[in-house]
Amino acid sequence: MATGKINVSVENIFPLIKKFLYSDHEIFLRELVSNATDATLKLKHLTSIGEASVEYGNPIIEIKVDKEGEKIHIIDQGVGMTKEEVEKYINDIAFSGAEEFLDKYKDSAKDSGIIGHFGLGFYSAFMVAEKVEIITKSYTDAPAARWTCDGSPNFTLEEAEKETRGTEIVLHVAEDSTEFLEESRIEELLSKYNKFMPIPIKFGTRTETLPKPEDAKEEDPAPTQEVDNIINNPNPAWTKLPTELKEEDYKGFYRELYPMQFEEPLFNIHLNVDYPFNLTGILYFPKLTNDLSAQKDRIQLYQNQVFVTDNVEGIVPEFLTMLRGVIDSPDIPLNVSRSYLQADGAVKKISSYITRKVADKLASLFKNNREDFEAKWNDIKIVIEYGMLSEDKFYEKADKFALYPTVDGTYYTFEELQEKIKGNQTDKEDKLVILYASNKEEQHSYIEAAKNKGYEVLLLDSPIVPHLMQKLETSKEKISFTRVDADHLDNLIKKEDTQISKLSDEEKETLKTDIEKTINNKSYTIQMEAMDSNASPFIITEPEFLRRMKEMQQTGGGGMFGMGNMPEMYNLVVNTNHELVSEILNTKTTKKKERLINQSLDLARLSKGLLKGEELTNFIKRSYEMVK
Ligand code: ADP
Ligand code: MG
């Protein structure tokens, strides 16, 4: 028997392995199953090019938990190792056998799916085991070998009895890791990391019911048989070509990925590139609500069908992290920090490729089935609006299919909208005035007033829309967004027929002073306007600029203005052509005049949604008194 010291520069690497990767102990299984997969794929490759004269067959990988013996077994039917190979690949930690293999078969092994250099590798076994055994038989005629190591750098290596080709790893589970002796825990890990690995993985058996034989009696139970319990799907949808898949297959795969999601995805995007980097995957647009915090199911990152993480930050542009699905790429460096990732050239290219694919898919959905696209708009707009804000490349493409719905459910592209309102909604500086509402209920009276004048009113209600409007106003020429309750419309939009005021300037001045004195509130600026006599006598507006700043502060991005709390500022627009306004002016008793002003103001505040609490209670009480 040979004994020796593992060739490491650090005197004792195992305490280090344990300590530094404490939080990630569970990855040992991923590493060992990856090695078993590599070994099997290597054999597949060697047999396919005639380098190994053995039958490849239908190899599987088996995981066994021996709770009593406190052991976990990982058994494969792959290439195995000779004693010399164990010496070379296991004892010399710094050397990766996968690397040598890929190097040797450079040309033919490209697509073999061998992972190599995945993470910590074989030695991660020591994160959970106090002793590890390798019993292995090479696919060549060489005798089998057994290697053991108890966590110190000392190992033993000897010839062993093993008839069948392949490798068995035995982990003698350490006292502090007995959680991994629970079948449920292993099952959880297998389903997290190995659900889509390319070689079938067996974990236990399950009972399968067979059809009854024809001569069976009614009361006879159906026959059953024990079959291997294969926990993975070795051929997941993303590894196939888009032409091989139907809509149903994509939906089926979504359910496989997210068994707890009952809502169907809106559509999918199949990613498939091999130059200048390798990337496959399927992304799904889920139904999104405005509540972005409820985001549990995320995009999963795989490397050659091995799960790596569901934190794709830095790889996928931020606005697309709201999507779901799978990305698989051997070209993403995995053992580096996120900040490094963002600077990595390959990763940058991946990120912009994904952005482009998503934009193209959206553009084709818009073009090919606009009706359907409109129907889905509310569920996807957050992603698109966010993307337009954060990625200029995306903005350029999305500008052609981003939709602007009206309060009555007509969907315009920006260009169509411009065309529609041109000539009818321009201000004094010849800017197009785009009127919008953020809440149909709360701004109802203002919406109605605008519609009565023949204006288009958009319904823009996502939380980031104020930021997007800001961006549109700076990147497009001569447009401005104004909420319906931000200004009095006749003041805002250029009109041919200007109203003539029924009141003289002097009367207006008197009235203004009266109102100012009565309401005695600095938040209100009083404006006298000659409007249509049918328009409300008092209208409260909140300037667009201030309100939008406030909103932007709430949704982030406004911090740069450093404004803290912004003051409440309203305009009280008084329609000098309204009968009630004349009545206020002509009322002789101060008390009655004040009552009329206060009541009218409260009605205007009610309409704007500003009357609340005690003031509302008082208003209602007062109104009952009046109608009595
Ligand atoms: P890597 O997989 O990145 O090469 P590991 O530390 O995981 O690094 O494994 C080191 C080497 O040990 C592998 O490259 C391979 O040559 C050998 N090896 C590990 N596990 C097995 C196995 N189950 N069958 C055959 N060889 C194996
Ligand atoms: Mg490995």
CATH code assigned at 87: 3.30.565.10
Q: Is residue 222 part of a domain?
A: no
Q: Does the annotation list 338 as a binding residue?
A: yes
Q: Average the pLDDT over 113-132 and give the result.
A: 75
Q: Does the annotation list 81 as a binding residue?
A: yes
- 287 pLDDT band, cuts 50/70/90, is confident
Q: Looking at the predicted structure, is the pLDDT value of residue 562 above 90?
A: no
Q: Counting runs of H as helices and runs of E as strands, what totals does the chain give?
A: 19, 22
Beta carbon of 76 within 6 Å of any ligand 1 atom: yes
Is there a single domain that holds both residue 154 and residue 102? yes
Tokens of 587: 């009322």
Tell me the sheet residues that pair with 572: 526, 540
Is there a single domain that holds both residue 527 and residue 574? yes
3-state helix, strand, coil in the chain (%, to 5): 40, 20, 40
Q: Does the annotation list 281 as a binding residue?
A: no
3-class secondary structure, 626: helix
- Specify the CATH number for the domain of residue 513: 1.20.120.790
- Please give the residue range of the domain that contains residue 567: 499-628
pLDDT for the residue numbered 10: 44
Is there a single domain that holds both residue 515 and residue 489? no
Half-sphere exposure of 84 (CA within 13 A, CB side): 2
Is there a single domain that holds both residue 430 and residue 365? no
- Specify the CATH number for the domain of residue 291: 3.30.230.80
Tell me the pairing of strands 432-437 and 479-483: parallel
Q: Average the pLDDT over 197-203 and give the result.
A: 97
Nearest listed ligand to the Cα of residue 117: 1
Q: Does the annotation list 214 as a binding residue?
A: no
Is there a single domain that holds both residue 92 and residue 135? yes
Cα 36 to middle of ligand 2, angstroms: 8
Q: Looking at the predicted structure, is the pLDDT value of residue 601 above 80?
A: yes
Q: Looking at the predicted structure, is the pLDDT value of residue 70 above 90?
A: yes
**What gap in Å lies between CA 481 and CA 545, rounded to an integer?**
10
pLDDT for the residue numbered 450: 93
Beta carbon of 542 within 6 Å of any ligand 1 atom: no
Q: Is residue 255 part of a domain?
A: yes
Q: Looking at the predicted structure, is the pLDDT value of residue 395 above 60?
A: yes
Cα 238 to middle of ligand 2, angstroms: 23
Beta carbon of 119 within 6 Å of any ligand 1 atom: no
Count of structural domains within the chain: 4
Residue at which a domain ends, from 153, 184, 205: 205
Nearest CA to ligand 1 atom 23: 36
489-508 per-residue burial string, b: 16 or more CB within 10 A, e: under 16: bbebbeeeeebebebeeebb
The residues near 575 (Cβ < 8 Å, ≥ 6 apart) are 529, 530, 531, 532, 533, 535, 536, 537, 538, 539, 581
Q: Which residue in 84, 180, 96 sits closest to 130, CA to CA?
A: 180
Is there a single domain that holds both residue 465 and residue 507? no
DSSP code of residue 264? P
Q: Is residue 214 part of a domain?
A: no
**What gap in Å lies between CA 495 and CA 225, rounded to an integer?**
84
| Each residue's pLDDT tens digit, 300-356 | 999 899 898 888 888 899 999 889 999 999 887 665 555 666 667 778 888 999 999
pLDDT for the residue numbered 192: 92
Which of 89, 120, 162 to mutate to test ligand 1, by most ligand atoms within 8 A of the CB atom? 89
pLDDT for the residue numbered 25: 83
**Cβ of 378: how many Cβ atoms within 10 Å?**
17
| Each residue's pLDDT tens digit, 492-551 | 888 776 778 889 999 999 999 999 999 999 999 999 988 888 889 999 999 998 888 888
3-class secondary structure, 176: helix
Angstrom distances, CA of residue 363 to CA of 268, 369, 384: 13, 10, 11
pLDDT for the residue numbered 628: 86
Nearest CA to ligand 1 atom 12: 89
* Phi, psi of 571, deg, nearest 5: -105, 135
Query: Under a CB-based contact definition with an 8 Å cutoff, are residues 194 and 33 in contact?
Result: yes
DSSP code of residue 568? P
Q: Which residue in 404, 382, 487, 484 sits closest to 442, CA to CA?
A: 484
Tell me the pairing of strands 201-209 and 61-66: parallel
Q: Is residue 193 part of a domain?
A: yes
Q: Looking at the predicted structure, is the pLDDT value of residue 199 above 50?
A: yes
Beta carbon of 307 within 6 Å of any ligand 1 atom: no
Q: Looking at the predicted structure, is the pLDDT value of residue 120 above 60?
A: yes
pLDDT for the residue numbered 459: 97
**Cβ of 67: how many Cβ atoms within 10 Å?**
12
Q: Is residue 68 part of a domain?
A: yes
Is there a single domain that holds both residue 468 and residue 516? no
Q: Average the pLDDT over 443-456 and give the result.
A: 93
Q: Looking at the predicted structure, is the pLDDT value of residue 295 above 70?
A: no
pLDDT for the residue numbered 549: 86
Is there a single domain that holds both residue 490 and residue 533? no
Q: Is residue 260 part of a domain?
A: yes
Is there a single domain that holds both residue 95 and residue 158? yes
Is there a single domain that holds both residue 120 and residue 74? yes
Q: Looking at the predicted structure, is the pLDDT value of residue 250 above 50?
A: yes
Tell me the sheet residues that pair with 160: 144
Cis amide linkage into residue 276, ω under 30° from 0: yes
Q: Looking at the predicted structure, is the pLDDT value of residue 281 above 70?
A: yes
Higher pLDDT, 499 or 576: 576
pLDDT for the residue numbered 560: 47
